[in-house]
């Protein structure tokens, strides 16, 4: 295995058999996010993106919210003290309808220059989250549940 420098812009994309509205709901409503986002309850309120996991709560700034097509917000790795001390990065969710009732969801995680440890660790997390989100929307059940 070679050691690689983690990328400061990372792109993840998945095709989901669902409408853009369903995808938007699944990424902005806590009853959905807790089923695929490591149990974190996430919601948008008052220009912030609020997260709650167990007793821990944190919130991030929302830069753009255009339901059901585009959401841009700050990212703080609050689930880990070492990562949380790094500079905030940025997440862009792009939701694009395709032919045949399919929606393309793209997540861009960038501005990671000041968060090298986060950059190294999030790849596996995003793959897990997007795979779980696809399974939830297509089958109504969480991944591996």
Interacting residue ranges for another protein, rule: CB under 8 A: 1-2, 4-5, 7, 9-15, 106, 108, 123, 126-128, 130-131, 134-135, 143-144
Provide the minimum distance between the beta carbon of 59 and another protein in the complex, in angstroms, as a whole number.
27
Q: How far apart are CA 39 and CA 32, in angstroms?
A: 9
Nearest to 58 by CA among 88, 13, 95, 100: 88
Of 1 and 54, the one with the shorter C-beta distance to another protein is 1
Q: Burial-class residue 119 by CB neighbours within 10 Å (0-12, 13-18, 19+).
A: buried
Of 12 and 79, the one with the shorter C-beta distance to another protein is 12
Q: How far apart are CA 29 and CA 24, in angstroms?
A: 8
Of 11 and 56, the one with the shorter C-beta distance to another protein is 11
Provide the minimum distance between the beta carbon of 123 and another protein in the complex, in angstroms, as a whole number.
7
Of 1 and 55, the one with the shorter C-beta distance to another protein is 1
Q: How far apart are the first and last CA of the chain?
A: 32
Provide the minimum distance between the beta carbon of 102 and another protein in the complex, in angstroms, as a whole number.
8
């Amino acid at each position: 295995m070679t050691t690689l420098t983690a990328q400061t812009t990372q792109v993840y994309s998945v095709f989901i058999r669902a409408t853009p509205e369903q995808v938007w709901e699944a990424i902005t409503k806590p009853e959905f996010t807790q089923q695929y986002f490591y149990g974190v309850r996430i919601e948008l309120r008052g220009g912030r993106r609020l997260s709650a996991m167990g007793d821990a709560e944190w919130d991030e700034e929302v830069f753009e919210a255009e339901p059901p097509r585009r959401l841009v917000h700050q990212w703080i790795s609050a689930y880990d003290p070492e990562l949380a001390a790094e500079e905030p990065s940025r997440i862009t969710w792009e939701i694009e309808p395709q032919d045949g009732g399919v929606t393309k969801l793209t997540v861009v995680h960038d501005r990671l220059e000041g968060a090298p440890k986060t950059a190294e660790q999030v790849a596996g997390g995003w793959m897990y989250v997007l795979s779980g989100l696809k399974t939830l929307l297509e089958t109504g059940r969480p991944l591996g549940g």
